[in-house]
Structure 1
C-alpha cells in the first residue's frame, strides 16, 4: 500500500544514495515554508530533504514516531533550526548521512548522536557553536566526514576525534581557534582531508600530523602562523595539496616538504624572504607553486630543477630582481608563469627556451628595458603575454615571429617609440593588442595588416599625429578601437570603412577639428563613440545616420550649434554628452527621435533658455545636467511628461522663479542641485510638486530667509494654526539638505524636525546668531547623529563660536542670546 505524498513535497525524486552507491527514490520537501516535519511521509523512504524551511526545533523521537526508520539520509540544512532534543534521531538505525549546516544551533547534548551507529557523514557547519562536548561523536565509530566549520569555536577538546578512527574528512575552518592539541588527530590514521583555515592559530606542534599517514589535502591558510616546523609533515607521505597562504610565515626549512608527495603548494601572502634551493628538491610530482606576495629578493637557479612536471608558477608581488637563465630549464611542462610586480631588469634570451608548452607569461610591472628578439622564440604555443608597465624602449620586429598562437599582447605603459610594420606579421590569431601609454608617434599602414582576427586595439595615450586611412583595412573583426589622448588632428573619411563590426570607438583627447559626414558610413554596429576633448566646431547632420549609437560623447569641443536632424536616426541613443561646448540654444526638435535617451549632459555651455517642448518625446530621461549655463528661467512644465526623471542639476546658472508657480513639476525627482544660482528667495510653493525629493542642494546662493517671506514680512497668509507653512513642507523623504554659504541668520528647529528621514544637514558659512534657538537645532542634530554615527560635528570657524558654546547655553526660553557670539560657521552632519 502506497502512502500519499504530502502536497508540499516532491516524492519519488531520483537521488544519489552514497550508502548504496546508486540512485534511489527520495522525498524533497525543501523550500516549502514548513514549520514542522510534514506528516504522511512514506515510511519506506531512504532520503528526506527538508532544507530551506522554517523548522526551528526537532523533538525527541520525531522521526521514529513517524515510522521513518528506513531513512539513510536527512537534510535539515538552512532552516533556522535552534533546538535539537537529545533523542531526536533515536530509532534511526540505518541513518548514515545527517546534514544540519547553516542553522542556529548553539548546543547539542552529548548523547544526541549516540545511537546512530552507522552515521558516516555529519555536517554541523554554519551554526552558532562556541564549544562542543568531547563525547558528541564518541560513539559514531563509522563516521567518515565531519564538518563543524564556520562556527564560533574557540577551542576543541583533544579527545573530540579520539574514537573516530575511520574519519576521512574533517572541516574545522572559519572558527576562532587559537590552538590545537598535538594529539587531537593522533587516532585518525585514515584522515585524508583536513581544513583548519580561517582561524587564529599562531603555532602548531611538530607532532600534530605525525599519525596521519594518509593525509592528502591540508588547508592551514588564513591563520597567524609564524613558523612551520621542518618535521611537521615528516610522516605525511601522501600529502598532495598544501595551503599555507595568508599567514605570517617568515622562513621555511629546506626539509619541510621533503617527505611529502606535493602536487600543489600555496604559500602566497606570507613574509617569506628566502627559499632554500632544495626546498622542493624531493617533490617530483609538484605541478603548482604559488609564492605570490612575499618578500623574496631572489630565487636560486636550481629552485625547480627536480620538478620536471611543474606546470604553474606564481611569483607575483615579490622583490625579485633577477631570473636566472636556466631557472626553468628542467620544466618542460611549464604552462603558466607569473612574475609581475617585481624588480626584474632583464630576461635572458634563453630563459624560456625549454618551456615549449608555455601558454601564459606575465612580466608586467617590472623594470625591463629590453626584450631580446629570441626571448619567446621557442614558445610556439604562447597565447597570453603581459609586458605592460616596464621601461621597454623598443620591440624588435622578430620578437613574436614564432608565436603564431598568440592571442593577447600587453605592451602598455612602456617607453616604446616605434612599432616596426612587421612586428605582428605572423600573429594571425592575435585578438587583443594593448600598446597604449607609450611614445609612439607613427603607425605604418601595414602594422596590423596580418591581424585579421584582431578584436581589441588600444593605441591610446601615445603621440600619434596621423592615422593612414588603410591602417585598419584588414581588421574586419575589430570591436574596440581606442586612439584617445594622442595628437591626431584629422581622421580620413575612409579610416573605418572596413571595420564593419566595430562596437566602440574612443577618439577623445586629440586635436580633431572636423569629422567628415561619411566617416561612419559602414559602421552600423557602432554603439559607443567618444569624440570628447577635441577641437570640433561643427557636426554635419548626416554624420551619425548609419550608426547604432547608444552612447555619444561630444563634450569639451567647440560646437556652437547642433542641427535638429543630427541625431534623427539614433533611436537607441541612451547617453549623450554635449557638455563644455559653446552651444547657445537647444533646438526644440533636437531630441524628438531619441525615445531611449536616459542621460543628457549640456553643462558648461552658453544656453540661456530651454523650450518647453524640448523633451516632449524623452519619457525615459533619468538624469539631466544643465549646470554652468546662462539659464535664468525654466518653465515648470518642462519635465511634465518625463515620469522617469530622477536627477536634475541646474547649479551655476542665474535662476529666478515665478511667485505663483512651483519651480518644477517632477513628482518622482530624487535629486536637485540649485547651488551657485544667485537665488535671493524661493516662493513658498517652489517645491510642492517635488514630493519624492531626497537630496537638495541650494547652497552658495544669496538666501536671507528660508522659513519666512523674503520680501521683508512673514508669510502670514500661509499659516496653519500658529505654525507658518514651511518652504520644504512637502518633502517628507528628504535625506540630504545643503543650505550652506547663504546669508541666513536663523534656522529654527521647526524647519527641520518635520523631516524624519533627514540624515545630513549643512548650514556652514551662514551668519547664524548663536542663541537658544540654535541650541534647539543642535539638540536635533545630536539626536539624529547619535542614531547612525559616532561623534558630533563641531563648528568650524571662527574659533570663538563652536558647538560647545551653543550646547552650554543656559536656555530658559528662546529669547536668550549671547551678545558676543554673533557669527557662527559650521556643518551639522547627521
Structure 2
C-alpha cells in the first residue's frame, strides 16, 4: 500500500491494534487540551505577559500583583476581566482603561499613584469595588467614579490625602468607604454631602482631634462608624444628632477624658456595639449609658478606671448587655457584690488584667448564674473562688497567666460542664492526676507555657470528649506519654493536638504517638527543631488530615519525607520555613486527598522540579490553589482583603542566569508564550513566572503526555489512525446526507399531494 505521507509506512501486522491507538489518540487530544493550562493560565481570554490569569469560580481574574510594573498593561487586558489585581507594583499614574471593559473590581494598592483623576476611571460602568490604598495619593477628584453607577466599596486608606475642601466623592450608590490613615486633620461640613447612602465609614488613624456637630448629619443610613486611634480629644455633644440608625460605634485608642458621654451617646438609641477601649477614660458617670437600652456589647478595656463603680455605671438601662469587657482597667477597689446585679443577661465577662481576690470575685459573680464565658487571665490570682458549682452554664474559663502554681484539683472539681479551660502560663510544674477527673464534657484544654516536662499517669484519662489538647512550649521532649491516657481506650473525639515549640527528640524508629490517639486528624509539630522523621513516625496516627511541620529544619534529602506514604487521608500539610531546596511531586503519590501544600519560606532552587510540582497541582490535582502561594487565594481578591500576599519563590544561581537568555523566550507546548521578548534581570522569581520562562517541558512523569505523543506519532500508527478518523467523518457525513435527502423527498411528496388536491 503506497504511503500517503512521505516517509510513513503502513504495517499490516499492526491492523488489529488500530482501535487501541485511536482511543489513545482521543485521550491524547483530551490530555493536551488540559495541558495548555499547565502553567496556570487559560487561553480563552487575553492575559498580559507579566500576569497570571485564571478563573475564580466563573470570573476571569488577571493577577499582575508584585510584578515590577511601572504602568498598567492596557493593550493586553481582556475586556471580560472581572478582577484586576495590580497590587504591589510601581505604577505612578493611570490612563483611561479600554472602552467596553467589564471590570468589576480594581485592586491597585501599594503602588506610587499620586492623584485620582476622573479621566482614569472614565467609562468603567461595571466597577463595584476599587482599592487604592497604600499609595501616595494627595488628591482625589470628587467625580472620579461618576461613570461607575453601581459602585459600592472604595478603599483609600494609607494615602497622604491630608486636606479635603468641599464634598469628597460623588456617588449615589456608595456604601463602604475606608479613608483611615490618610492624615486627615479635619472633616469639613460638606465632606459627605454627595455620598449619603454610606452604611459603613472608617476614619481610623487620622489626627482628627475634634469632631464637630453636623459632620455626620447627612448620613442617615449610617450603621457602622470607626474612629479608632484618631487622637480625638473632643466630640461635640451633637455629633450624632441624626445618627439614629447607628448600631456599631468604635472610638478606641483616643484621649476622650473630658467628653460628656451622656449627651454624646444620648441620641444613639439603636446602638448595639460600643468600643471605647484605650480611650483615656478615667471615670464614667452613672447616666453614661442611660439611653443605650439596646446595648449588647460594651468594651471599656485598657482605660484607667481605678475607681469605677461597676454597679452604678451599668445602671438599670443595660439589662440587655451580653458582653462586658473591663480588661486591664486597673480597678483598685474590690468589685462589689452588686456589681453585675443589673446585668443578669451577661454571657461573656472579661476581667483579665485587673488585680482580683478570690473572696471578692466570688461575691461579685454570684448574680451571674447564666454566665457562659469568664476570662480572668493575669489577675494575680493565687487561688480561685470555690463557688464554681453555681455556674451551671459556664462553658469557657480562662485563668491563664496567674501565679496559681499547682493548686487545681479541689478548685476545678465542680466544673463538670466546662468545655474550654485555659490554664496556660500559670507556673505549673505538676498537675495532679485527678485534676480533670470530673470534667467529662471538656472539649478544649490549654496547658501551654507551663514547664511540665512530664505528664502524670491517667491525667487525661476521663477526658473522653476532649477534641483539642494544647501543650505548646511546655519543655516536652517526648511527643505524648501513653500513660497519660487510659490503656486500651481509643479517644474517639480527640482530633487536634498542638505541640509546637517543644524541643522534641524524635526516635530513630517507631511511632511518635500511642495507639490511644489513632483518631487525631490535626497535628501541630511546628518549631520543634525537627530535622527528620522516620518512615513509621505516624504509624499510629494514620488518620491525620492536617499536619503542621513549619519552622523546622527538614532538608531535601532522600527519604526525608518518606513518612508521607502512610498518611493516605492527608488533606493539608505545612512545610513552610524549613530547609527545602527542591521537591518532587512523586513524594505525594500516596496522598490522593491532599488539597493544600504550604512550601512558602523555603530556599528553592529554580529547576524543572518546580515545573513538575506546578503541573502536578494544576493537572493532576486540578487546582493550582493546592500550592499555597502559587496564585491569588480567595482572601487576596475579596473586598478589604490583604494587600500583600505571599508567593512561592525560587532563585537562579549565577550559572543559570548566564544561560537563561536562550530559554527565556523559548516557546514550549503547554506553556503560555510571551508576547514580547524578555531579558532576565534578577535572580529571585515567583514559581508562576519561572514555569513560563524556564523552557521546562510539561510534566511527563505522571501522565506522560509527551511519551503518549511519541508512541502515537510513530510511523506505523499515523496512517491507520487517520483512516479511522476519516471513516468516522464519512459515516457522520453519510448519515447527515441521507437524512437531508429523505427530508427533501418527503417535502416533495407532500407538495405533490397538496397540488393534486387543489386541481381536483
Q: Output the TM-score relative to the length of structure 2.
A: 0.53
User: C-alpha offsets along residues 785-823 of structure 1, whole Å, 9 cap, x if unaligned?
Assistant: 99988799xxxxxxxxxxxxxxxxxxxxxxxxxxxxxxx
Question: 1:509 deviation in Å?
Answer: 1.5
The answer to whether 1:617 aligns with 2:462 is: yes
User: C-alpha offsets along residues 174-195 of structure 1, whole Å, 9 cap, x if unaligned?
Assistant: 7969899xxxxxxxxxxxxx98
SS of the aligned residue for 1:516 comes to helix
Cα RMSD of the aligned pairs, angstroms, is 6.0
Question: 1:383 deviation in Å?
Answer: 0.7
Residue 380 and residue 783 in structure 1: after superposition, are their counterparts in 2 closer, same or farther (change >3 A)?
closer
Question: 1:406 deviation in Å?
Answer: 0.3
Q: Give, in whole Å, the separation in 2 of the partners of 1:635 and 1:333.
A: 61
SS of the aligned residue for 2:349 comes to strand
- Asked whether the equivalents of residues 340 and 362 of structure 1 are also in contact (C-alpha less than 8 Å), the reply is yes
Question: Which blocks of at least 5 consecutive residues in structure 2 are unaligned?
Answer: 1-19, 530-534, 542-546, 553-558, 566-578, 588-601, 606-760
The answer to whether 1:324 aligns with 2:324 is: no
Aligned to 1:480: 323
User: C-alpha offsets along residues 612-652 of structure 1, whole Å, 9 cap, x if unaligned?
Assistant: 676553334553759989xxxx99855326946799xxxxx
Residue 446 and residue 596 in structure 1: after superposition, are their counterparts in 2 closer, same or farther (change >3 A)?
same
Match of 1:435 among 261, 276, 297: 276
SS of the aligned residue for 2:249 comes to strand
Question: 1:454 deviation in Å?
Answer: 2.1
The count of residues paired between Structure 1 and Structure 2 equals 519
Match of 2:35 among 120, 128, 152: 128
SS of the aligned residue for 1:469 comes to helix
Aligned to 1:359: 199
Aligned to 2:303: 462
Question: 1:405 deviation in Å?
Answer: 0.3
Q: Which shows bigger deviation, 498-507 or 525-534? A: 498-507
- Asked whether the equivalents of residues 516 and 543 of structure 1 are also in contact (C-alpha less than 8 Å), the reply is no
Aligned to 1:344: 184
Aligned to 2:362: 517
Aligned to 2:421: 576
Q: Give, in whole Å, the separation in 1 of the partners of 2:291 and 2:347.
A: 21
Q: Give, in whole Å, the separation in 2 of the partners of 1:270 and 1:561.
A: 51
- Asked whether the equivalents of residues 209 and 231 of structure 2 are also in contact (C-alpha less than 8 Å), the reply is yes
- Asked whether the equivalents of residues 578 and 602 of structure 1 are also in contact (C-alpha less than 8 Å), the reply is yes
- Asked whether the equivalents of residues 581 and 603 of structure 2 are also in contact (C-alpha less than 8 Å), the reply is no
Aligned to 2:397: 552
Question: 1:388 deviation in Å?
Answer: 1.7
Residue 468 and residue 307 in structure 1: after superposition, are their counterparts in 2 closer, same or farther (change >3 A)?
same
Question: 1:579 deviation in Å?
Answer: 4.7
User: C-alpha offsets along residues 692-714 of structure 1, whole Å, 9 cap, x if unaligned?
Assistant: 799999x99xxxxxxxxxxxxxx
Q: Give, in whole Å, the separation in 1 of the partners of 2:103 and 2:167.
A: 19
Aligned to 1:252: 94
- Asked whether the equivalents of residues 447 and 472 of structure 2 are also in contact (C-alpha less than 8 Å), the reply is yes
SS of the aligned residue for 2:324 comes to strand
Question: 1:458 deviation in Å?
Answer: 2.1
Residue 389 and residue 286 in structure 1: after superposition, are their counterparts in 2 closer, same or farther (change >3 A)?
farther
Q: Which shows bigger deviation, 581-590 or 385-394? A: 581-590
Question: 1:599 deviation in Å?
Answer: 4.6
Q: Give, in whole Å, the separation in 1 of the partners of 2:63 and 2:426.
A: 58
Q: Give, in whole Å, the separation in 2 of the partners of 1:265 and 1:605.
A: 48
Q: Give, in whole Å, the separation in 2 of the partners of 1:732 and 1:577.
A: 30
Larger % of helix: which? 2
Q: Give, in whole Å, the separation in 1 of the partners of 2:257 and 2:327.
A: 17
Residue 322 and residue 58 in structure 1: after superposition, are their counterparts in 2 closer, same or farther (change >3 A)?
farther
Question: 1:363 deviation in Å?
Answer: 1.6
Question: 1:595 deviation in Å?
Answer: 0.2
The answer to whether 1:385 aligns with 2:225 is: yes
Question: 1:527 deviation in Å?
Answer: 2.7
- Asked whether the equivalents of residues 387 and 412 of structure 1 are also in contact (C-alpha less than 8 Å), the reply is yes
Q: Give, in whole Å, the separation in 2 of the partners of 1:395 and 1:178.
A: 47
Q: Give, in whole Å, the separation in 1 of the partners of 2:488 and 2:258.
A: 52
- Asked whether the equivalents of residues 488 and 510 of structure 1 are also in contact (C-alpha less than 8 Å), the reply is yes
Q: Give, in whole Å, the separation in 1 of the partners of 2:102 and 2:170.
A: 18
Q: Give, in whole Å, the separation in 2 of the partners of 1:325 and 1:754.
A: 64
User: C-alpha offsets along residues 650-706 of structure 1, whole Å, 9 cap, x if unaligned?
Assistant: xxxxxxxxxxxxxxxx9x9996999699xxxx9x99999789799999x99xxxxxx
Question: Which blocks of at least 5 consecutive residues in structure 1 are unaligned?
Answer: 1-55, 61-80, 85-103, 108-126, 132-148, 154-170, 181-193, 202-220, 648-665, 701-727, 741-752, 760-780, 793-830
Q: Give, in whole Å, the separation in 1 of the partners of 2:51 and 2:460.
A: 65
Residue 447 and residue 240 in structure 1: after superposition, are their counterparts in 2 closer, same or farther (change >3 A)?
farther
Question: 1:271 deviation in Å?
Answer: 3.7
- Asked whether the equivalents of residues 474 and 502 of structure 2 are also in contact (C-alpha less than 8 Å), the reply is no
- Asked whether the equivalents of residues 197 and 223 of structure 1 are also in contact (C-alpha less than 8 Å), the reply is no
Aligned to 1:106: 32
- Asked whether the equivalents of residues 400 and 425 of structure 2 are also in contact (C-alpha less than 8 Å), the reply is yes
SS of the aligned residue for 2:261 comes to coil
The answer to whether 1:503 aligns with 2:347 is: yes
Residue 293 and residue 669 in structure 1: after superposition, are their counterparts in 2 closer, same or farther (change >3 A)?
closer
Aligned to 1:639: 485
Q: Output the TM-score relative to the length of structure 1.
A: 0.50
Q: Give, in whole Å, the separation in 1 of the partners of 2:482 and 2:110.
A: 63
User: C-alpha offsets along residues 246-281 of structure 1, whole Å, 9 cap, x if unaligned?
Assistant: 27553234xx37987999673633746244654279
Structure with the larger RCO, 1 or 2 (CA within 8 Å, 6+ apart): 2
Question: 1:385 deviation in Å?
Answer: 0.8
Aligned to 2:671: none
Question: 1:392 deviation in Å?
Answer: 2.1
Q: Give, in whole Å, the separation in 1 of the partners of 2:481 and 2:141.
A: 77
Aligned to 1:530: 375
Question: 1:487 deviation in Å?
Answer: 0.7
Residue 386 and residue 563 in structure 1: after superposition, are their counterparts in 2 closer, same or farther (change >3 A)?
closer
User: C-alpha offsets along residues 399-442 of structure 1, whole Å, 9 cap, x if unaligned?
Assistant: 22321100111222333335533221221221222222332222
Aligned to 1:743: none
User: C-alpha offsets along residues 272-298 of structure 1, whole Å, 9 cap, x if unaligned?
Assistant: 624465427976978756242362422
- Asked whether the equivalents of residues 419 and 447 of structure 1 are also in contact (C-alpha less than 8 Å), the reply is no
- Asked whether the equivalents of residues 580 and 602 of structure 1 are also in contact (C-alpha less than 8 Å), the reply is yes
Q: Give, in whole Å, the separation in 1 of the partners of 2:538 and 2:278.
A: 49
Q: Give, in whole Å, the separation in 1 of the partners of 2:146 and 2:328.
A: 49
